[in-house]
Amino acid sequence: MQAADLLELRDDLSRECSRLHKLVSGLSDLGQRLEHSADAVEASALRLHSFYTGVERMLLLISRVVNGEAHQLKVKAGTGGCWNAWRWPPTPGRRC
């Protein structure tokens, strides 16, 4: 684990935290409309799923740095990387 890896992890986690905060705020707003709208229920479910996905992504970022694998996959959280870039274990040479 190198200092540069930790700094990059800090930046990635900060971005994810910002996204999670926005999701939680959106869920709070939708919570007031749940009883009156089926669309609000569906939107809340999708946001809740996105929240759990974001938490999972954060834990995976942390585990890769702690395990010394941060150099193998430089896909930053939320920068448009493919969904399977987060798979564990990483597959060498696998493209999106």
Indicate the pTM of the whole model. 0.63
pLDDT at 96 exceeding the cut of 70: no
Give the start-to-end residue ranges of the domains of the chain.
Answer: 3-79
- For 30-86, the pLDDT digits (tens) are 877 888 888 888 888 898 899 999 999 999 999 999 888 765 555 444 444 444 444
DSSP class per residue in the chain: --HHHHHHHHHHHHHHHHHHHHHHHHHHHHHTTTTT-HHHHHHHHHHHHHHHHHHHHHHHHHHHHHTT-TTT----TTSS--GGGG-SSPPTT---
